[in-house]
Amino acid sequence: MPENKENSQLDLPDCDIRYYPNFIPSKIADTYFKKLRSETPWQQDDIKVFGKFYAQPRLTALYGNNGRPYSYSNITMKPHRFSKVLLEIKSEIEKYVSPEFTTCLLNLYRDGKDSNGWHADNEKELGKNPVIASVSLGAERMFHLKHNIDPSAKHKMILEHGSLLVMQGETQHTWKHQIPKTAKPIGERINLTFRIIK
Ligand SMILES: O=C(O)CCC(=O)C(=O)O
Ligand SMILES: [Fe+2]
């Protein structure tokens, strides 16, 4: 039976999104940030947008326990074996969110110019209604959500250091999300998105 931890469900239609603001205590989150920043083999891939290639505006890395690759935006990433710190975070999440995650995509936003454009995590290998558990470490960034059909349904929130955001149910079919660029001088942020690749 999953345990409980302080969280709130976003009051938005056609989705199931929960936010856990203090999921990882701040001091521990600081340690995780430092370890992941230095230990991760960060890569920068080129993505294809309307037939042209651009350097992805952030660094990434893929980890997993089943060797299955993950493909999106014309990139195919091969997983590294889960590290000790990622396994520790993964098992903490699995106390509250029931499924066992196989894979984690890491994003490093080096400053406000790094971003993640409007998208849904709806790749075939994630299955029908994917559960995505997203941990934020380091600088706070805005997270935007917009409904695919109803232009009045949208939401903006801050993803705080040590927080967990869980998107599940039909969310990836009905909503898109993004991390916009910001002109504010801000520090680095690491995001971990735990996923299940079938
Ligand atoms: O950085 C974030 O919080 C979001 C990352 C994301 O949407 C993704 O990797 O699919
Ligand atoms: Fe995403």
Residue 80 has pLDDT above 80, yes or no: yes
**Rounded distance between C-alpha atoms, residue 156 and residue 144, angstroms:** 5
118 closest CA partner among 160, 84, 91, 146: 146
- Going from N- to C-terminal start, the domains of the chain cover 8-195
pLDDT tens digit sequence for 92-135: 999 999 789 999 999 999 999 999 999 999 999 999 999 999 99
DSSP code at position 48: E
Which residue of 134, 137, 141, 181 sits with most ligand 1 atoms within 8 Å of its CB, as the best mutation to test the pocket?
A: 134
The model's confidence at residue 54, banded by pLDDT at 50, 70 and 90, is: very high
The CATH class of 8-195 is: mainly beta
ipTM: 0.99
* Whole-angstrom distance, CA of residue 92 vs CA of residue 24: 9
Q: Which pLDDT score is estimated for 48?
A: 85
Instruction: Judge contact between 16 and 171, C-beta under 8 A.
Output: yes
Mutate to test the pocket of ligand 1, among 77, 131, 191 (most ligand atoms within 8 A of CB): 191
Sign of CA dihedral 122, 166, 104, 65: negative
